[in-house]
Amino acid sequence: VCMDYKSEAVLGEECANGRDMGFTGKQAIHPNQVDVIQRTFMPSTDQIERASRIVQGYEHSEQQGKGAYGLDGQAIDLPVYKWALKILKRAEKGGRSTQPAGEPSASA
């Protein structure tokens, strides 16, 4: 909780520190804090795109009877796949599109 509810800079720094330590959210004591918190903890476009590629690749690999596979020189296994699913779920809850760039959404 950031008690300095008037300073977006202080709150933003606290949120960024928490995010960098692996936290996915923060409590607010004032409505003015919500936007900064949501912006800071929302997965970035790059994170969403990478998570989407991981999920698609892993599911394709599983359909072929395999498990782990390589993506951009890195091994992608079940724990990484589960992490990517969590990123996409957080993005969806925040109203972000999780469709890979250039692909139409299911509702299109």
Active site residues: 77
Strand 69-71 and strand 74-76: the pairing is antiparallel
Long-range contacts: 39-46, Cβ < 8 Å, 24+? 40/12, 40/15, 40/16, 41/15, 41/90, 42/90, 42/91, 42/94, 42/96, 43/87, 43/90, 43/91, 43/94, 43/96
